[in-house]
Structure formats: C-alpha cells, structure tokens
Amino acid sequence: MSLRITWPALRCLSLALMASCMALAQPASPAPAATSTGQAIGNIISAAVSTAFPAVSAILRAIWPTPAANKPVTPTQASTALQAAKDQSTTAQKSNSDALTAAAKNLSVVRTFATECGFAGIQIAAMQRMLTDRASQAKLTADETAKLNALWTPTNTRLGNLTKDAIGTSIDGMTDDFLKVTLGAIRDAITNNATNITNQIRDGGAADLSISLSQLAPQVQGIAPLVGVLIGDLSTSLTTAAGNIASHAGPPQADEIAAAQADRAKNVSALKGLFGAKIQ
C-alpha cells in the first residue's frame, strides 16, 4: 500500500516550515578568523547552530518529490530519501561538532583558571593586609608566620594545579594565540613567584615577601579582564546565532555592539597593562 499525501494538506505545513527555517536549509559558511578565543568560540557556536537542524527542503522533497504532479510516494522511497538527507546533514555537522568539542575544552581551562585565581586573589589580599600594618624590615614573628602559612599553603596548592598536569600543559597546545598568551602569562607568573613566596615566609623576610605578593597579585587577578573579553565576545556571537534560528530576532542592536566593543577594549587594555604588548 502506498502512502498518499495530498499537496493541499501539505501546503500549509511546508510554507510554515520553509518560512521559519529557510536560514537553516543550507550548511553555514566557515567562520571567519577571530582575533580572540571568545570570538572564535562564538563563531563556532553560530556555525553549529546553522547546521544543527535538518534541511527542511530536503525533508519536504523526500515526502513530496513532485508536488505539482500530485504523485504519491511510498514509505520505502521516503525512507531512502530521508536517509540521504540525514547522511548529508551528519557530514556537514561533523566539523562543527569537532570544533565545539575543542572550544568546550578551552573554556573548561578558563573556568579552572577563574576558579583558582579567584580564590588566590582573596588569600593574597589577606596576606598583604597583614604585612601593611607592620614594620616592613622587621622579621616575621612566629605568630605571623603561622597565619601567613595558613593562608598561603592552600593557595599555593591550588595555583600549582594550573602549572602542571592536564591544565598547565594544555595551554601550550592551544591554537588561539590570545588565550594561549594570556593564560601562559598567568601560569608563568605563578611559577616564578610561588617558590619565592614559600621560602620568604619560611625565612621571615617580610620586605621580600611583600614585593613578591605585589607582583603576583595583579597577574593572578588578570583572569578577570580575560573572562570579561570572553563573555562579551560570546554574548555577541550567541545573539547572532539566535538570529540565525529565528529571523525575527535579527542581528545585535547597534548600541549593544558599541557597548560590547567598548568593554572589550577596556579589558584588553587592562591585560596589556599586566602582560605587555604581547597581548593583541
């Protein structure tokens, strides 16, 4: 028995689907090169969204290949045509799927840095307050040493996780220079100062400890403007992706774009102030 679907019955459905999903009928063009990881990840998301849904026109052709002739289509014929459309969609989405997986890994690294550096920033500020209200040249007392160790030991352990194993070594393999350079600078600052701070607390050198903490603190806090850059770029790209799904959403408003660009410039300027001209 053949499956008969009349054109009048399908007409309303096809028009509605085609009107709302025309932008999704074809695979998206490759995302342009980005100047920061946030933009790169955002473009990956936009491209993936554009090919995440079935090609509506291909489905309609599989069900009703010649609507004007009002010819029936058998379930076997429809199944064969739909399988071809599915295979084509799967192939088109493969590269986007791989790119999204890589982007998720990069964001996971940033999340870990934000978590550990946020904790370290609080601990280091407490250590600096202790040193502010004392004679800078005087040796640390036993009580001061104990309190500083209580603050620094967990901080050093957690920051150490950013310089080794999966997190620390993954930075060197990143292909995005903006993220690689910024996270690498934070990692190197931790590596260069952690041992000094541990030794200075042990030896009671308050003046040297104060200098080391003043060097490490702003570089650890550098994760904040980096996260600001990523959130801004992702927000803009996700708004664009939403416009690809529903045409009525439209592109980002001009004032939103201007505000995002202004905030991004501030955050990048802060990063350059911390880590120099290598931040682009």
Q: Which of 91, 123, 147 is the last residue of a domain?
A: 91
DSSP 8-state class, residue 173: T
Backbone torsion region of residue 100, taken as left when φ is above 0, otherwise alpha when ψ lies between -120 and 50, otherwise beta: alpha
CA dist., res. 71 & res. 7, Å (int) = 9
Residues 39 and 119 in one domain: no
- Kindly state whether residue 161 falls inside one of the protein's structural domains: yes
Residues 83 and 146 in one domain: no
Q: Which of 56, 91, 126 is the last residue of a domain?
A: 91
- Kindly state whether residue 215 falls inside one of the protein's structural domains: yes
The residue-averaged pLDDT of 95-121 equals 81
Among residues 44, 34, 26, 43, the alpha carbon closest in space to that of 95 is found at 44
Question: How high does pLDDT run on average in the chain?
Answer: 74
Residues 218 and 239 in one domain: yes
Among residues 222, 38, 188, 190, the alpha carbon closest in space to that of 114 is found at 222
- Kindly state whether residue 1 falls inside one of the protein's structural domains: no
Residue type, 52: A
pLDDT tens, position by position, 58-99: 565 665 666 555 565 666 666 776 677 677 767 766 666 677
- Kindly state whether residue 61 falls inside one of the protein's structural domains: yes
Residues 265 and 226 in one domain: yes
Residues 147 and 121 in one domain: yes
Tally DSSP H helices, then E strands, for the chain: 10, 0
Structurally, the chain folds into a number of domains equal to 2
- Kindly state whether residue 21 falls inside one of the protein's structural domains: yes
Residues 81 and 107 in one domain: no
Query: Which region among 12-21, 37-46, 216-225 has the lowest average model confidence (pLDDT)?
Result: 12-21
Residues 110 and 77 in one domain: no
- Say if residue 19's pLDDT is above 60: no
**What is the band of 22 on the pLDDT scale with cuts at 50, 70, 90?**
very low
Residues 186 and 252 in one domain: yes
Alpha carbon distances (Å) from 245 to 19, 48, 50, 248 = 11, 11, 7, 9
Residues 181 and 60 in one domain: no
Task: Output the pLDDT for position 247.
Answer: 52
Backbone torsion region of residue 152, taken as left when φ is above 0, otherwise alpha when ψ lies between -120 and 50, otherwise beta: alpha
Residue type, 19: A
Residues 79 and 128 in one domain: no
- Kindly state whether residue 116 falls inside one of the protein's structural domains: yes
Residues 58 and 178 in one domain: no
Q: Which residues contact 48 (CB under 8 A, 6 or more apart)?
A: 93, 96, 97, 99, 100
Residues 59 and 138 in one domain: no
Supply the range of the domain harboring residue 178.
101-275
Query: Which region among 46-50, 80-84, 113-117, 262-266 has the lowest average model confidence (pLDDT)?
Result: 46-50
Show the DSSP H helices in 64-141 as ranges.
Answer: 75-132
